[in-house]
Structures are given as structure tokens and as C-alpha cells.
Amino acid sequence: MLIRGGTVLDQAGRRRSDVRLEEGRVGEVAPDLAPADGEEILDAAGCIVSPGFVDLHTHLREPGREEAETIETGSRAAARGGFTCVVAMPNTDPTQDSVSVVEFVRAQGEAAGLCDVRPSGSITIGRLGEQLSPLAELAAVGVHLFTDDGDGVQDPLLMRRALEYAADLHHDGTPIVLAQHCEVKRLTEGAVMHEGHCCSRFGLPGWPAVAEELMVYRDIELVRLTGAPVHILHLSTARSVELVRAAKADGLPVTAEATPHHISLTDELLEGYSAIYKVNPPLRTMADVEAVRAGLADGTIDAIATDHAPHAPETKEQPLDQAPPGMLGLETALGVSLAHLDMDVTNVVAALSWKPAAIAGVADEHGRPIEAGEPANLTVFDPDETWEVQPANLASKSRNTPYIGVPLTGRTRHTILRGTAVVIDGAATR
């Protein structure tokens, strides 16, 4: 297959180049390659050819919530968004806290064949925050990232023990990573949106920024104590950004991600009481949005991660206090990021590709430089195309996107997984 007419963009920068793929790997990379007889050609004119995107934070809902998403529909949404690898969050039913559930998720991902599905494991059994999951056993079958996402580990002693235990665990030579959903639950009981001027005006119970920041601070100090790495999920407040910046300046192994919705939407959107804007952590103020954008721009925040959280319409149509939090993210992540970040495209791709690949422990296969011999996991996207989401056209089984009618910039044209085009001209091939 020959990817023709595009601009290659990777860790080495940008250059006008065609890319030939051979047996699942990158073959030649040079300008104006002549097509061989019968060679399949993918048109990349006006497009960027980059390493495939890696999502650190995808809810695929299977097993247990197949009415909202399945591993197949979620992987298709990922591929259409330009992702060649996703980390599947563990808040399934049953929880991804055992080898059998993790192997099931991985096998379903392989069967769908649309992107690499890397299951995370929960830190605690059932995500109940009481007893540690069999971290060593799960690491031995290839689980790299552990999290109780949906909830943070509330008990500081249990988190300390998890980090002490994790410090000695490796997967393929790299230390496993504990990823925290930072939320002190006692401070967010009953909350449906960010605590601030807007929630007072709307008469809605608020989720204070400090509920996130206390756990960010606690976990940074536990990293300092134990030396084990922590990844902070969906960081959303200005003060959290400052805490992570200071931790990095101290040389601590702390990484962080931000979602497309926390760099593009604010708490004012709850004005109409629509649960489409209910998400956890909640949409914050414009000052927070700007601080998160600045954190991405200066590298304090390593990665853009979607927190793709599909929910069936009948659940999202419930009143605000009963509707579950979460919004779709995979198919709009690139378009939201390029529309809302004042960053060079190379840095946006870094935050979508090789930086999250390193955190997810998949840097041997994803987010690789585009050079001969490297695995052909690639995304071809038009950085300038402006477009709007058509709900009927989404690959996800759910429709809970807040971006209907919102102009986005940048769209995936083709996605290549191990040398096979799984998306061509925006359409999934399987």
C-alpha cells in the first residue's frame, strides 16, 4: 500500500513524503514514490500522516453495558477518530479485576480488529476501594495501567500500599502505572456540576474544585514517599495544573491527561439543565479551561485522553441528578483539540500519540517514528477540514455527544492498523 501526497509528521518533525507499507510495517519513506503494479493507493493530499493516536481513557462498556457500547462499536469509533490503540477502563460489570475478564476484553478487541484494545485493571477488587486487586497476576498477563476510574481510591493507606506494591511490578521491563480519578467523594456527594457562580445561579448542587485538588496533592506526596509513578486522569482545575507542574519540577514520576471537553466547554452550558453536559469531573470555569490549555501547551499535561463515556439515550434523558455522567469523545477528539488549542499541530499529535503511548506502555508498537521497519500504525488526517458531527453517522452505539452543531477543525481520513486500512475516507472498512 502506498500513502501518497501527504506530509509526514512524527518525533523528527515534518517533511513532505510518501509512505510505502509492507507486511504490516513501514517500508520506504520518501517523496514522490512511484506506485508499483497493483499497489493499493491511499490519497493523503493536503493531509498529515502521523503515528496512530493512543487513548489512555476509553470506556468500552463490555462486559455489562452492551446497550451503550460494545468493544466492537467502541473500537470502530476509535478507528474513525484516528486511534490505533485504546486503554479500556475497568468499570465494566464484572469489573476488570481478574485475569479472565481482562483476557475477555483483549480477545473481543482482537476479534473486532479495528484498533489495539489494551485492558486496564482495577486497583481494588470491584473498584470498591477496600482490597487490592491481584496487581502482580494482572501485570503478568500484560496489564500496564491500573485504575479504579469512575471513583478515586479514597483510603490513603490503601493507595500507599498499592503504590508500594506497584513499585516492584513491571510489564515488559517498564514499571506499571497507577492512574487516579481524583475525587474526594465526601466533598462531592449529590453534586451534578462544578461548584461556583453558575451552580448557585442554577440552584444545582456543586462539585468543588478542591475535591479534585486534595487527591492530586495527596497522590503527588505518596509518589514522593514511594517512588512509584502515578498518572492523573482527566485533570480539570487550574490548581491541579499548578500542583502537577510543581511535582514535575521536583522530578517526580507524575504524568497527567486532560480531556477534549475540559479544554472546550464550561460550566455555563448547564444553564439549560441538560444532562448531555453532565460529566465527571464536571465542566469547569473559563479560567480552568485556560489553565488546562496552558498546561498542555507547556507539557505539564502530557496527553489528551478522551474519557469516551457512552451512555444509552434513556439514561442520559433522565433528570440531571439521576442521569449518569459522561460524554462521547473518540470521534471528536482531534477536531476539538485542533479547534481549541493554540498549539502547533506537532505538539497536539504528541499529546494524542507518542506521549500517551509511553504512559500506556505501548510505545514499542504505537506512536513510533515513521521510519522503515517500524510497525505501520498510522493516522492520516486533514488538519484544516472544518466539520460538524452528524449524530446518525457516529460509529459509537451511543449518541451522547455535546458537540452537535459545534464547528470542529481537523478530521481523520484514513487509519492504518498493522498495515491494514481500517478506515478509508472516513468510513470503517470492517
Query: What is the contact surface with ligand DOR in residues (CB under 6 A)?
Result: 59, 91, 149-150, 181, 279-280, 307, 309, 324-326
353 vs 332: CA distance, rounded Å = 15
| Closest separation in Å from C-beta 183 to ligand DOR | 8
Q: For residue 345, give the nearest of 84, 76, 114, 82 by alpha carbon.
A: 82
For residue 25, what are the β-bridge partners? Answer: 22, 375
Q: Which of 148, 302, 307, 382 is catalytic?
A: 307
Residues 6+ apart with CB under 8 A from 92: 60, 61, 62, 63, 64, 65, 101, 105
393 vs 81: CA distance, rounded Å = 13
User: Residue with the closest Cβ to ligand DOR?
Assistant: 326
261 vs 280: CA distance, rounded Å = 11
Residue 184 or residue 424: which is nearer to ligand DOR going by CB? 184
| Closest separation in Å from C-beta 193 to ligand DOR | 12
Are residues 328 and 335 in contact, defined by beta-carbon separation less than 8 angstroms? Answer: no
Residues 6+ apart with CB under 8 A from 6: 17, 18, 19, 44, 45, 46, 47, 48, 49, 380
| Closest separation in Å from C-beta 47 to ligand DOR | 32
DSSP per-residue string spanning 268-331: GGGGG--GGG--SSPP--HHHHHHHHHHHHTTSS-EE---B----HHHHTS-TTTSPP-B--TT
| Closest separation in Å from C-beta 158 to ligand DOR | 19
| Closest separation in Å from C-beta 280 to ligand DOR | 4
Taking phi over 0 as left and psi of -120 to 50 as alpha, with beta for the rest, 202 belongs to: alpha
Half-sphere exposure of residue 343: CA atoms within 13 angstroms, side-chain side: 25
Residue 102 or residue 349: which is nearer to ligand DOR going by CB? 102
Q: For residue 395, give the nearest of 310, 337, 316 by alpha carbon.
A: 310
Taking phi over 0 as left and psi of -120 to 50 as alpha, with beta for the rest, 252 belongs to: beta
The vertex-270 CA angle with 267 and 276, nearest 5°, equals 110
| Closest separation in Å from C-beta 311 to ligand DOR | 6
Residue 280 or residue 401: which is nearer to ligand DOR going by CB? 280
Residue 325 or residue 335: which is nearer to ligand DOR going by CB? 325
384 vs 92: CA distance, rounded Å = 37
| Closest separation in Å from C-beta 150 to ligand DOR | 4
Residue 91 or residue 237: which is nearer to ligand DOR going by CB? 91
Residue 61 or residue 293: which is nearer to ligand DOR going by CB? 61
Confirm whether 307 is a catalytic residue: yes
| Closest separation in Å from C-beta 26 to ligand DOR | 36
Are residues 85 and 365 in contact, defined by beta-carbon separation less than 8 angstroms? Answer: yes
Burial class for 252, CB neighbours closer than 10 Å (0-12, 13-18, 19+): middle
Residues designated catalytic: 307
